[in-house]
């Protein structure tokens, strides 16, 4: 069942540091920018357009960058992605700062902000497929789950520490957005080049045996689509929690409006820290097969959302969030490992691209599916998500021999 596991290549920590930087930047944008954009005179719909453009571009281009990384190697694609993220951060902050001083005509502000987020979606979407392929290149089947867990833990670390660090810089520089965003962008470029030079000679050279782009992996390929279904649920559950948490806390947990945002902030820190614990302690130190990680992770997620649906106090809220983070950390590491072990060596980037393509689907479905259910009753969305987690476990158990038979899964 479980035993102590050998450690993956230490250079994965460098990839984790880069994705932590991106996590810090992205989480800060989601926290700070909506209010900043509204203060410039735009409504919620226009704010939504700015972020939706990036998500749509991300979905479209992730598989493309993944296939390119299989064709030309990981390092150049990774560097392009880091550059795109850093450029979008600098331009986004520069435009908002300039607009706040009336240096840009109002009619140009929204198109310019959309273009900056489009850059993030078009180019920034290259990072994860290339990094995922790189991790597969660096790890054996036995160490792959631990490798992917390290990488994802880097993202969680950035999500937790980024807004805190940016907040400190904002207080130092009199709430000037440009300086902290510039710092994050420059740090991203430094880490991008550091990883670029860390990658091996074999990685920087394209496969000369291939005269054409690798064939696309269909999202309906039986090796792939089960993992995509699981990833879609993860995206839906994450987006559902993000978009309902503040109003759930306000409507159900607290009566004091002033405590809502601090309560939610602590809650999301608990989610991230619990996820990091599962990835850096459990997955790193014990050899658990990827399918078992997915099954146990989904079971813990089920109890997490079930607890949230019944929560009526802050301790109950934080218990549900802790279970959700713990289970999701296990399931994410297991799912991406399961997908990686199911495809060939020269399909790793493409497979990771597909996985990153489906994750933003949750942000599209939540306004259509989750929010109307919340209007009916605040606990219904969490009951639905707990039901979907159990449904996935039943699907896995009933189809284990059909779709999950690859050795070492």
pLDDT band at 1 (very low <50, low <70, confident <90, very high): very low
Cα atoms in the Cβ-side hemisphere of radius 13 Å centred on 207: 16
**In angstroms, rounded to a whole number, what is the distance separating the alpha carbons of residues 30 and 51?**
9
Supply 345's token pair: 């060596």
pLDDT at position 186, please?
A: 94
Looking at the predicted structure, is the pLDDT value of residue 211 above 50?
no
Tell me the H-state helices in 225-313.
225-248, 260-277, 284-285, 290-310
Listed residue (137, 139, 252, 243) closest to 200, CA to CA: 137
DSSP code at position 211: S
What pLDDT band is residue 252 in, cutting at 50, 70 and 90? confident
**What gap in Å lies between CA 80 and CA 357, rounded to an integer?**
18
Question: Whole-angstrom Cα distance, residue 150 to residue 126?
Answer: 19
Q: What does the pLDDT average to over 223-248?
A: 88
Cα 301 to Cα 15, 243, 293, 383, 390, distances in angstroms: 27, 18, 12, 11, 9
In this prediction, residue 203 carries a pLDDT of: 57
Angle 350-352-353 from CA coordinates, rounded to 5° = 60
Residues 6+ apart with CB under 8 A from 54: 117, 118, 120, 121
Question: At the fourth CATH level, which superfamily is domain 219-409?
Answer: MFS general substrate transporter like domains (1.20.1250.20)
Burial (Cβ within 10 Å: 0-12, 13-18, ≥19) of residue 209: exposed
For residue 156, give both structure tokens: 């969680």
Residue 255: pLDDT over 50: yes
More confident residue, 184 or 360: 184
Average pLDDT of the chain?
86
Question: Could you tell me which residue, 301 or 251, shows the higher pLDDT?
Answer: 301
HSE-up (13 A, CA, CB side) for residue 112: 18
**In 3D, which of 201, 304, 308 has the Cα closest to residue 244?**
308
Q: Do the Cβ atoms of 21 and 89 come closer than 8 Å?
A: no
pLDDT digits (tens, 9 = 90+) for 183-208: 999 999 999 999 998 886 555 454 54
135 with 151: CB under 8 angstroms? yes
**Closest CA relative to residue 273, chosen from 158, 163, 385, 356:** 158
Domain boundaries, the chain: 10-204, 219-409
For 92-107, write each residue's pLDDT tens digit. Answer: 989 998 998 889 999 9
Whole-number Å distance between alpha carbons of 324 and 346: 34
| CA gap 104, 92 in Å, rounded | 13
**Residue 165 and residue 176: Cα distance in Å, rounded?**
14
* Residues in CB range of 186: below 8 A, 6 or more apart: 86
Per-residue pLDDT at 65: 93
The count of other CB atoms within 10 Å of the CB of residue 149 is 31
**Other CB atoms within 10 Å distance of the CB of residue 301:** 29
212 is written with which tokens? 């054409």
Q: Which range is least confidently modeled, 21-30, 187-196, 310-319?
A: 21-30
288, with CB counted inside 10 A (0-12, 13-18, 19+), is: buried
Residue 77 phi/psi, 5° resolution? Answer: -65, -40
pTM: 0.83
The correct CATH number of 10-204 out of 1.10.4000.10, 1.20.1250.20, 3.20.20.210, 1.10.443.10 is: 1.20.1250.20
Render pLDDT for 127-167 as a digit per residue (tens, 0 to 9). 999 999 999 888 888 888 889 999 999 998 998 888 788 87
- Assess whether pLDDT exceeds 90 at residue 6: no
CB 120 within 8 A of CB 60: no
Pick the more confident residue, 324 or 51: 324
Q: How far is CA 332 from CA 102, 212, 293, 301, in A?
A: 44, 32, 8, 11
């Amino acid at each position: 069942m479980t035993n102590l596991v050998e450690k993956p290549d230490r250079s994965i920590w460098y990839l984790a540091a880069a994705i932590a930087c991106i996590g810090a930047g992205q989480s800060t944008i989601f926290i700070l920018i909506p209010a900043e954009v509204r203060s410039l005179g735009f409504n919620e719909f226009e704010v939504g357009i700015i972020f939706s453009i990036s998500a749509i571009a991300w979905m479209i281009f992730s598989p493309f960058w993944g296939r390119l990384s299989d064709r030309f190697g990981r390092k150049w694609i990774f560097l392009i992605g880091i550059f795109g993220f850093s450029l979008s951060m600098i331009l986004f902050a520069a435009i908002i700062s300039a607009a706040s001083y009336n240096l840009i005509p109002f009619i140009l502000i929204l198109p310019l902000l959309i273009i900056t987020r489009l850059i993030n979606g078009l180019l920034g979407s290259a990072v994860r497929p290339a990094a995922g392929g790189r991790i597969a290149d660096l790890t054996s089947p036995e160490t792959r789950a631990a490798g992917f867990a390290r990488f994802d833990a880097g993202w969680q670390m950035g999500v937790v520490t980024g807004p805190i660090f940016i907040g400190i810089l904002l207080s130092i520089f009199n709430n000037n957005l440009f300086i902290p965003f510039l710092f994050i962008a420059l740090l991203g470029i430094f880490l991008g080049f550091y990883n670029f030079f860390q990658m091996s000679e074999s990685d920087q050279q394209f496969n000369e045996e291939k005269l054409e782009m690798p064939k696309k992996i269909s999202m309906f390929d039986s090796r792939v689509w089960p993992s995509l279904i699981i990833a879609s649920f993860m995206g839906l559950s994450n987006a559902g929690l993000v978009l309902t948490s503040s109003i759930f806390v306000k409507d159900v947990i607290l009566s004091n409006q002033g405590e809502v945002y601090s309560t939610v902030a602590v809650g999301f820190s608990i989610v991230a820290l619990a996820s990091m614990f599962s990835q850096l302690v459990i997955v790193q130190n014990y050899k658990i097969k990827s399918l078992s990680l997915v099954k146990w992770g989904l079971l813990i997620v089920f109890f997490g959302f079930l607890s949230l649906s019944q929560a009526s106090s802050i301790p109950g809220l934080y218990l549900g969030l802790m279970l959700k983070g713990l289970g999701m950390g296990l399931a994410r590491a297991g799912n991406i490992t399961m997908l990686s072990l199911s495809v060939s060596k020269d399909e790793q980037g493409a497979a990771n691209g597909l996985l990153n393509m489906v994750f933003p689907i949750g942000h599209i479905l939540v306004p259509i599916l989750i929010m109307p259910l919340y209007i009916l009753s605040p606990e219904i969305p969490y009951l639905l998500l707990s039901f979907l987690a159990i449904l996935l476990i039943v699907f896995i158990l009933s189809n284990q021999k059909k779709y999950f038979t690859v050795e070492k899964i």
